[in-house]
Structure 1
Amino acid sequence: MQALTDRQLYDAFLSRTPLPAPLADAMIGVKTTGIFCRPGCPARAPKFENCEFFARPDAALRAGYRACKRCHPMGDEAMLMRRIIELVEAQEEGGVTEAALRQAGIDPSTARRQFKGRLGMSVADYARLRRLGRAAQAIARGESVIEAQLDAGFESASGFRAAFAKTFGSAPTKGQADPLFVDWLDTPPERGGGRMIVVTDARALYLIEFTDRVKLPRQFERLRRIHGRPIVPGRTDMTDRVAQQMADYFAGRRTEFSVPIETAGTDFQSGVWAALQTIPYGETWSYADLAARIGNDKAVRAVASANGANGLAIVIPCHRVIGSDGGLGGYAGGLDRKEKLLALERAHRPG
């Protein structure tokens, strides 16, 4: 079947006519909202000049658009993950059984594969951690341990204490710290992105890193130790803010981030990270420039080490630091990714 023109795709959108295969993957991106939809979407139609047209959903994602919540243009694994997580969240006690998955029209083996590939755990493991996470929140709010145990669906006090201690490193006690929440985020690899891990609470962003970073487990352990808070699967409003701002960044619409951040480093590291945030979008400094900025010309190696310890990828832009010879230098996320991020910023540099 012959490909449709942009105008034909737009007319299909206006008439809310779903396209037949093999054109069903065609998408329309709305520049004014940053959202992409499939033809047939019930949302209010945008003006033609505000539209961008794509052959597939992944092309729209790489261009920085996010999926519409009304027509669900992804329709595949991203939507599937959200549906399973919604099932988990709807369970006040217990896990999500295979029967419950089938009743929701989800193949259990597909659910297991998606969860293992994206989160490194099974659906049952995720549900258990969410139950324990809710229990940790309840205890932090002042509820008794027995109330938290029953609300989490544990009939056995000893079983609850054992599961809690295995997950958080200590038995549950009233007044324990509120947990941090970890979720995943997909960003366009063609522009220097990739799958990322995001750790937040209701107040701030604590960590955002690419999942292929070697030292990621060590960063998680450091967060737990410094903040004295468990890290459990889950999503907060702050996670959504980070996701939106990251989508805007990869689309070239955002040059700096405004989400509140929480860093935990030495005074020297904190000084380096603060200086990193003053490097203008689309520009680069050398490690020597950065050392001079913090008032210690001889600390080039220490500056490079602090750069590598940054746990807020892109938000604190350590990718903008290069070697004195103009070479890319190092980058924990990989030099290919660093090169793409710098190219993205050069292409959208103001002025």
Structure 2
Amino acid sequence: MHLARTTFYRGHFDSQLGRINLLVDSNGALLRLDFALPGALRTRAEYASAIFQEDAVSHISQQLSEYFTGSRTDFDIELAPTGSSFLHEAWALLRAVPYGTTTTYGALAKTMGKPGFARAIGMANAVNPISIIVPCHRVIAASGALTGYSGGLDKKRGLLVLEAEHSGNDLACAPNRQT
């Protein structure tokens, strides 16, 4: 029996916060969205084996452009992240956090019905393969401090400031504070 190999395509989007790498499957479903960090394309096997084709990610680039200009607050993109059922449940909770607002790891754990799982929620955020669209940047520490973000705290702060400016909300965090 011969199994067909799935073809992956990659491209990028240049935002005011830096280059964003995109990886989609042959159907255009988004597998990864990462801020470009030095060496990231070489170290991620998914990107290394993907075919560079901007047209394959243009639908995502368009929506990201709208997000960064403030005209889009929710995304309409098919997502196909790989992860356990717990991770998918945690990522679904992240998608429910409204644009221009923040929440805490503990609050998400309570919403999940697992109040002692704040650290597990933090780990789910850490391995989230689709940042911005699965908005892990909207999760902050109970103290209001910004903690961990795969793209760097400067990117997390930038996304929160961008959303605050476009939503008119005074985010419940201290954007200049780090832990």
The question of a shared fold, defined as TM-score above 0.5 by the shorter chain, is answered with yes
When the two chains are superposed, the root-mean-square deviation of aligned CA atoms in Å is 2.4
- Per the alignment, residue 280 of structure 1 pairs with 98
Please list, as runs of the form range in 1=range in 2, the aligned pairs for 1:39-188 lying within 5 A after superposition: 175-188=3-16
SS in 2 for 1:282: coil
Aligned length in residues: 168
Unaligned runs of 5+ in 1: 1-172, 225-229
Q: Which residue identity is paired with 1:184?
A: H
2:125 matched to 1:307?
A: yes
Against the structure 1 CA distance between its residues 313 and 266, is the aligned structure 2 distance closer, same or farther, given a 3 Å change threshold? same
Q: Measure, in 2, the Cα distance between the counterparts of 1:185 and 1:298.
A: 38
Contact 2:22 2:34 in 1 (8 A): yes
- Indicate conservation of the 8 Å contact 1:291/1:300, yes or no: yes
Deviation at 1:188, TM superposition (A): 1.1
Tell me, yes or no, if the aligned pair for 1:205 and 1:259 is still in contact at 8 Å.
Answer: yes
Structure 2 residues without counterparts, runs of 5 or longer: 170-179
Distance 1:294 1:176, change over 3 A: same
Question: How far apart, CA to CA, are the structure 2 residues paired with 1:312 and 1:324?
Answer: 23
For the residue of structure 1 that corresponds to 2:50, the secondary structure is strand
User: Could you tell me how far apart the structure 2 residues matched to 1:295 and 1:264 are?
Assistant: 23
Q: Is the 8 A contact 1:285 1:321 kept in 2?
A: yes
Distance in 2, Cα, partners of 1:255 & 1:266: 27
Question: Could you tell me which of 187, 207, 212 is aligned with 2:37?
Answer: 212
Task: Answer with 1 or 2: which has the greater Rg.
Answer: 1
Shift of residue 237 of structure 1? 4.5
More helix per residue: 1
Deviation readout 1:126-149 (Å, 9 max, x if unpaired): xxxxxxxxxxxxxxxxxxxxxxxx
Q: Which amino acid aligns with 1:337?
A: K
1:325 to 136, 143, 157: 143
RCO higher in 1 or 2 (8 Å CA, sep ≥ 6)? 2
1:249 Cα deviation (Å)? Answer: 0.5
The code of the aligned residue for 2:36 comes to T
Residues in 2 aligned to 1:175 and 1:266: alpha-carbon distance in whole angstroms: 23
Q: With structure 2 as the length reference, what TM-score do the two structures score?
A: 0.84
Counterpart position of 2:173: none
Contact 1:202 1:236 in 2 (8 A): no
Q: 1:266, 1:309 → 2: CA distance?
A: 11
- Distance in 2 between residues matched to 1:300 and 1:215, nearest whole Å: 28
Q: In the alignment, what sits opposite 2:23?
A: 199
Calculate the TM-score normalised by the size of structure 1: 0.44
What letter matches 1:209 in structure 2? D
Of 77, 82, 86, the match for 1:259 = 77
Greater strand fraction, Structure 1 or Structure 2: 2
Counterpart contact for 2:10–2:56, Cα < 8 Å: no
Shift of residue 281 of structure 1?
A: 0.3
- The 1:330–1:243 alpha-carbon spacing in structure 2 relative to 1, beyond 3 Å, is same
Change (3 A) 1:306 1:216: farther
In structure 1, the partner of 2:58 is 240
Q: Are the equivalent residues in 1 in contact too, given 2:29–2:78 (CA < 8 A)?
A: yes
From the superposition, tell whether residues 196 and 340 of structure 1 become closer, same or farther in structure 2 (CA, over 3 Å): same
